[in-house]
């Protein structure tokens, strides 16, 4: 087959354009870290997963956001569909041909699902015994639990973490500041270079302070804390009586702790159940909560570990007041 000189030239120009576009859109590992480190830190504060591990996995699994899977579906952690996945999906060749992978509306949603995936899959339960500062044990544990098939997966994660000083992000109080200082920047300068000042999940802006941190497990329940108050998540067909029996609390006290009226009321599957009395105000940095459609003073108070009546008093509201979408509530 003989091509004309014009056709060859046109093809060369098109190829050059494709290569140029690819070069322009590809981001470096450093840029990737700056872009998503705040989300990784927020997930660490909520779930106890080291931010360094999250960042290293994101870099490795998504080729720093440049892989076809991450570009087409925002999947930055190579998480496959599994049987319980009901969301969007895409198909890529991996260990086998045309395997099903999860797809997300945003990169933030991928980061959130990664944390939930590790938090809810039983094979990763042992990892949460390690503190968030022990990235080496987390890396080895992920490999041992079968997150990836590469024999040197743990070593790859550790090398990335140590080369880019990602372990600095794991500091419980000032990880981002330490990391910024290692780059010769202030936290404010580093924040300006990142597009993530807050975490968007499911279309809502979530306060970075308002995350659950795994403390330990007891009688089959993971114990979390928010606002310095301990709580568990109700299981399927659970009851306040059952939860109370596990923690030597009366069902009546549990209902009081959670501002629940009615002796026949039962917690829904996955609902937050505080096992000690909530506080009168939020201890985090945020001062206000922006209401969403369908929220009540009780649901807002529960999400921040605040007593419902205290929240209503802070805002001059009557008990059971109707909240409007976009309404701003004081939480401290």
162-218 confidence digits (pLDDT tens): 999 999 999 877 778 888 787 776 555 555 444 333 333 333 333 333 334 444 567
Range of the domain at 169: 29-196
Residue 6 lies in a domain: no
- For residues 42-55, give the mean pLDDT: 90
Is the domain of 238 the same as that of 97? no
Q: Are residues 175 and 58 in the same domain?
A: yes
Say if residue 188 is in the same domain as residue 239: no
CA distance 56 to 147: 13
Q: What is the pLDDT of residue 59?
A: 95
Residue 216 is predicted with a pLDDT of 58
Q: Residue 186 has what pLDDT?
A: 58
CATH code for position 237: 3.10.350.10
Does residue 275 sit in the same domain as residue 170? no
Say if residue 70 is in the same domain as residue 170. yes
Shared domain check, 232 and 323: yes
Query: Which of 167, 196, 225 is a domain's end point?
Result: 196
Asked, for residue 7, whether it belongs to a domain, the answer is no
- For 126-137, the pLDDT digits (tens) are 898 888 899 999
| Structural domain includes residue 268 | yes
Same domain, 74 and 186: yes
Q: Tally Cβ neighbours within 10 Å of residue 295.
A: 17
- Residue of 130, 125, 299, 275 whose CA lies nearest to 210: 299
d(CA 274, CA 311): 16
**pLDDT over 70 at 98, yes or no:** yes
pLDDT band at 12 (very low <50, low <70, confident <90, very high): very low
**Cα-based distances in Å from 225 to 53, 82, 95, 138, 184:** 22, 29, 39, 21, 34
62 and 183 share one domain: yes
Question: What pLDDT shows up at residue 161?
Answer: 95
Asked if the structure places residue 242 within a domain, the reply is yes
283 domain-assigned: yes
pLDDT at 189: 54
Confirm whether 131 is domain-assigned. Answer: yes
Mean residue pLDDT across the chain: 81
- Evaluate whether residue 14 is within a structural domain: no
Q: Kindly state whether residue 20 falls inside one of the protein's structural domains.
A: no
Q: What does the alpha-carbon distance between residue 150 and residue 264 come to, in Å, rounded to a whole number? A: 52
> What is the Cα–Cα distance from 239 to 245, expressed in whole angstroms?
10
Neighbours of 187 (CB within 10 A): 14
The average pLDDT across 109-119 equals 90
The mean-pLDDT minimum among 4-8, 25-29, 101-105 falls in 4-8
Count of structural domains, the chain:
2
């Amino acid at each position: 087959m003989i091509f004309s000189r014009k056709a060859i030239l046109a093809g060369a120009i098109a190829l050059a354009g494709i290569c140029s576009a690819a070069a322009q859109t590809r981001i470096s590992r450093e840029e990737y870290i700056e872009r998503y480190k705040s989300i990784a830190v927020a997930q660490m504060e909520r779930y106890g997963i080291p931010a360094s591990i999250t960042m290293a996995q994101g870099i490795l699994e998504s080729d720093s956001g440049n892989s076809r899977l991450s570009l087409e579906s925002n999947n930055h952690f190579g998480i496959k569909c599994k049987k319980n996945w009901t969301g969007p999906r895409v198909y890529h060749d991996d260990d086998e041909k045309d395997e099903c992978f999860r797809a997300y509306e945003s990169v933030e949603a991928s980061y959130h699902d990664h944390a939930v995936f590790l938090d809810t899959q039983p094979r990763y339960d042992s990892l949460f015994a390690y503190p968030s500062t022990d990235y080496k044990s987390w890396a080895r544990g992920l490999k041992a639990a079968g997150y990836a098939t590469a024999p040197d997966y743990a070593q790859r994660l550790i090398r990335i973490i140590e080369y880019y000083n990602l372990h600095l992000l794991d500091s419980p109080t000032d990880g981002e500041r330490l990391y910024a200082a290692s780059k010769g920047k202030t936290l404010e300068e580093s924040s300006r270079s990142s597009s993530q000042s807050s975490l968007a999940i499911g279309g809502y802006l979530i306060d970075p302070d308002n995350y659950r941190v795994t403390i330990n497990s007891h009688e089959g329940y993971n114990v979390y804390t928010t606002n310095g108050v301990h709580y568990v998540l109700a299981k399927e067909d659970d009851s306040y009586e059952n939860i109370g029996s596990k923690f030597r609390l009366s069902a009546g006290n549990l209902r009081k702790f959670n501002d629940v009226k009615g002796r026949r009321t039962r917690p829904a599957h996955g609902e937050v159940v505080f096992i000690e009395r909530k506080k009168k105000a939020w201890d985090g940095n945020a001062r206000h909560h922006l209401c969403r459609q369908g929220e009540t003073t009780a649901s807002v108070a529960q999400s921040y570990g605040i007593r419902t009546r205290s929240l209503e008093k802070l805002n001059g509201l009557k008990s059971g007041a109707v909240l409007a979408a976009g309404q701003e509530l004081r939480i401290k």
